[in-house]
Structure 1
């Protein structure tokens, strides 16, 4: 695999924001030539697949400025400095949906756009949900509607492109697969 590695020759931070940093890197390619890479550094994030005792999936509807539209997604959020992904998952579940859960199960961690960003999302399943009376509040710049839908209704949202992000599409595919595997074992 060494024949694929790009060596960083120089690195310049060109932007530092609330969530991301952007770098331009000069790299030496495996063939000895040089090139530039634009790299987005992200603290990482979690996403949660909340499933009610009735088998419904809890989703959130929110406006996404980058897309200039309202999307439906699974609850998610970025890791705070020094925060473990599991703690972030529990926090985001309560803040965005008003639910707490029994033990969460880690499904997978994946990079969202490895061609230019290092964002790593840790995906969890949350079951044994209970509604919290005084749930933790959303961030002051966050506004969401909570939806509880069947898997079939969620897939219809995906088909209508109301669900349009990879983490939520992945989560729904995961739930479909689990249902199919469960059906085979019964």
Structure 2
């Protein structure tokens, strides 16, 4: 196997959040064809872990899948913003808790065959409550969930968002 040849592409739809392209590709030894590609800005997310081994989680509804689930703070990295700065900003905007430092925890490409999407998950070990969240539409509840409940909650599909599952399971794998 080898890399595919890209002969060109054209945008079908563009918005500030997503772009849909039709790409003229040719896999080695196979005929050319047009392939859809969904382009996203990178996403930064943060697992906030307290000194009492609790994780800051948000209970929210996702209209696209019509599901309720627990998630970690996350969002699109803005133009000119570092991944770390975006992760820190999203925690504060979505939860009202402030973190000042983050460290890399996980990275994934959730749909590599059809999208350039990249999720960068960070770990913050300290947080200070500063005010109610600015983004009040992001969550119905914000709670600190004991780390030892995360696996069972994931098994029960109470945590299903890919970026949250990736980050939380990485934390569980590394946590003593």
Q: TM-score, normalised by structure 1?
A: 0.86
The corresponding residue for 2:48 is 50
Q: Secondary structure at the match of 1:4?
A: coil
CA distance in 2, matches of 1:141, 1:150: 24
1:61 aligns with 2:59: yes
Cα distance, 1:27 vs. partner? Answer: 1.0
Number of matched pairs: 176
Structure 1 contact 4–30 (Cα < 8 Å) conserved:
yes
State which of 125, 131, 147 in structure 2 corresponds to 1:151.
Answer: 147
5+ long unaligned stretches in structure 1: none
Cα distance, 1:70 vs. partner? Answer: 1.4
CA distance in 2, matches of 1:53, 1:99: 15
Cα distance, 1:73 vs. partner? Answer: 1.1
The two structures, once aligned, show a CA RMSD in angstroms of: 1.8
Q: Secondary structure at the match of 2:47?
A: strand
5+ long unaligned stretches in structure 2: none
CA distance in 1, matches of 2:106, 2:155: 24
Q: TM-score, normalised by structure 2?
A: 0.91
Say which structure is richer in helix: 1
Show structure 1 runs of 4+ deviating over 3 A: 140-144
The corresponding residue for 1:137 is 134
Cα distance, 1:141 vs. partner? Answer: 5.2
1:4 aligns with 2:2: yes
The corresponding residue for 1:175 is 171
CA distance in 2, matches of 1:31, 1:83: 41
